[in-house]
Amino acid sequence: MSGAVTPGTVYGLGLGPGDPDLMTVRADRLLRGARHVAFFRKAGRKGQARGIVEGLLPDGAQELPMEYPVTTEIPFTDPEYNRLLAEFYEACTERLAALAEAGEDVVVLCEGDPFFYGSFMHLYMRLADRVPLEVVPAITGMSAAWTATGAPITWGDDMLSVLMGTLPEDMLAARMAESDALVVMKIGRNLDKVRRALRRAGRFDAAWLVEFASMPGQSVQRLAEAAGRVTPYFSIIVVHGQGRRP
């Protein structure tokens, strides 16, 4: 009688902000030895995470694209949005769990850090009691963004707030006014609202817009000089702190 199959491990592999050179040594090692590689993508697209590792996957690796059923087609406040994504994550969970339960390791490619506003966390919570899991942390996109501006994001006792452009304008303005340093993510269609909130908080003139941080096509400019531009969803706005220093 054959023994029970030892389950494989599902790895949430943080890839960093976009430049493959900014991946950790551990992430690179796991990636180059992977037999099964899963990644999120929008239907009909290659996928940002998959693009980062172009040329790094081993020969014969089985690719498992996980295509979002919806992204910006309907408001995220619509109950249908949440229902569709919940069903999607459940289906992805079953797919990965089946591989792991059959004894296969699976690498899930994650932009930035897997536990920082990433899609992998939704799989992690569903898989946690079923199969072995490991998370490989990484440099976040916001780290690459403020580094691209050429200035420290915080000094001394500065308080840093990370805000989502999807938040209501009043909440954005209030948090912007009370924080020393700011990072605003998920800009996209929310750019005009974020601009208004920054003006209300008196922070607009100090804001920087960083697009494609650490990737080809990186752009860094004052937000005030980017009027009329439509920015990618993953662009980041940075306001530096000016706190205590020797």
Report domain extents, the chain: 10-139, 142-239
Average pLDDT over every residue of 32-58: 94
H-assigned helices in the chain: 25-32, 48-52, 79-101, 120-127, 141-148, 169-178, 191-200
| 215 contact partners, CB below 8 Å, separation of at least 6 | 17, 18, 19
Residue 2 confidence (pLDDT) = 57
Return the sign of the alpha-carbon dihedral for residues 123, 128, 130, 131.
positive
CB atoms within 10 A of CB 15: 30
* Distance, CA of 49 to CA of 127 (rounded, Å): 21
Split at pLDDT 50, 70, 90, the class of 70 is confident
- At 46, phi and psi to the nearest 5? -70, -35
Split at pLDDT 50, 70, 90, the class of 41 is very high
Residue 65 confidence (pLDDT) = 97
pTM: 0.91
Residue 190 has pLDDT above 80, yes or no: yes
Taking the domain 10-139, which CATH number applies? 3.40.1010.10
Across 46-50, 159-163, 183-187, 231-235, least confident range:
231-235
Residue 1 has pLDDT above 50, yes or no: no
Residue 188 confidence (pLDDT) = 84
Percent of the chain exceeding pLDDT 70 equals 96
Q: Which of 3.30.310.50, 2.60.40.3140, 3.40.50.300, 3.30.950.10 would CATH assign to domain 142-239?
A: 3.30.950.10
Bridging pattern class, strands 207-211 and 219-222: antiparallel
* Distance, CA of 122 to CA of 93 (rounded, Å): 9
- Conformation bin of residue 228: beta by default, left when phi > 0, alpha when psi is -120 to 50: left
Q: What is the mean pLDDT of the chain?
A: 93
